[in-house]
Amino acid sequence: MDQGNTTLPPTTGVNSSQNPAGLNAAYLTSAVLLFLTFLVGVVGNGLYLWVLGLKMRRTVSTLWFLSLVSSYLLLTLLIPFFIVSLLMGLHWVFGTAMCKILNTCISVGMFSIVFHLTLISLDRYTLTHHPIWSRNHRTMSRAGKLFVGIWLASFVLSTPYLAFRETRVEDGDRITCKNNYALSRDWDGAKMKDMGRRVHLAIFTVRFLLGFLLPFCTITGCYICS
């Protein structure tokens, strides 16, 4: 689940001085689609949060889905930043701090969604196959601890973005937001590139195992056994 280049629109591109009238049609189309996604996501997830948080009795199940919807809403609220980047010809204008923070938040949201879906699958499995154990151990206090644990684990796995995500000036005035795994301003040095590849591989392996393979196997196993 490595996100060296985030799943949202990339933050690299053409010169920022490009006239808006001359923007690539693909950029405009993508921006419109993202804007529609933003509207639908905010309204839909907002309604879900309102219903789950205010209109339904607080249970373990509602807590799971309340937290899951919060993860989706987090990702949705980040979309406008990338819409602006698209409309400016994929030129990053929000600075290094926002480059780090936004990509960290994207990673936190994605990890938390995966972990929530995994936990919900395990919860359904135990309810079906171990009802007595679930009745005795499936409490709000334990659910709250798992809730906090999911978000903390998601943040820990996303911290590499705080360290490695940086802005870079290219072609005079074009600013990009990308990973610098070598932690050096010598982006193009052979030694730094080699170090960056090793760090990238290590981070990718951890993210793939914890963010995809283990959750995928767990969810698949739960559904096969159900």
**86 is written with which tokens?**
């698209």
Residue 11: CA count within 13 A, CB half-sphere: 29
**212 is written with which tokens?**
């995809």
Binning the chain into helix, strand and coil, the percentages to the nearest 5 are 70, 5, 25
Domains located in the chain, CATH noted:
20-225 (1.20.1070.10)
State yes or no: pLDDT of 12 exceeds 60: no
Backbone φ and ψ of 169, nearest 5°: -90, 125
Residue 21: pLDDT band with limits 50, 70, 90: very low
pLDDT tens track for 135-191: 888 899 999 999 999 999 999 999 999 989 988 887 778 788 888 887 666 656 666
Q: Whose structure tokens read 């154990």?
A: 133
pLDDT tens track for 49-81: 999 888 888 899 899 999 999 999 999 999 999
What pLDDT, on the 0 to 100 scale, is given for residue 85?
86
**194 is written with which tokens?**
């080699």
Q: Bridge-partner residues for 169, per DSSP?
A: 175
* pTM for the full predicted model: 0.82
User: What DSSP state is assigned to residue 22?
Assistant: G
What pLDDT, on the 0 to 100 scale, is given for residue 184?
65
Backbone φ and ψ of 179, nearest 5°: -80, 135
What pLDDT, on the 0 to 100 scale, is given for residue 125?
93
At what angle are helices 60-77 and 79-87 packed, to 10 degrees? 20
Lowest mean pLDDT among 18-27, 88-97, 156-165: 18-27
Higher local confidence (pLDDT), 226 or 91 = 91
